[in-house]
Structure 1
């Protein structure tokens, strides 16, 4: 599995992912196992996937 560059916490993309995860945690009352890392997808074939 190829991994692109890691996004910085100040990037809008990182902040969006973080807000989604925090919202799910609040709504479900369950902590995620997210490691706090977000990477760019290097392969355009997989853009928009998670």
Structure 2
């Protein structure tokens, strides 16, 4: 049990030092979620009617 916990602690520590892995795990999904909410949200303002032709 002690060896398993020490290996787990080492793996977590090495994962937290990898900034690319942290980006793809935490920041990228949040950015994609915000982008998809922005794109597919139902706004009452139609962007095409704002442009006077």
State the TM-score bracket (shorter-chain normalisation). 0.3 to 0.5
Q: Which has the higher helix share?
A: 2
Looking at both structures, which has the greater relative contact order when contacts are Cα pairs under 8 Å and sequence separation is at least 6?
1
Q: Normalising to structure 1: TM-score of the pair?
A: 0.34
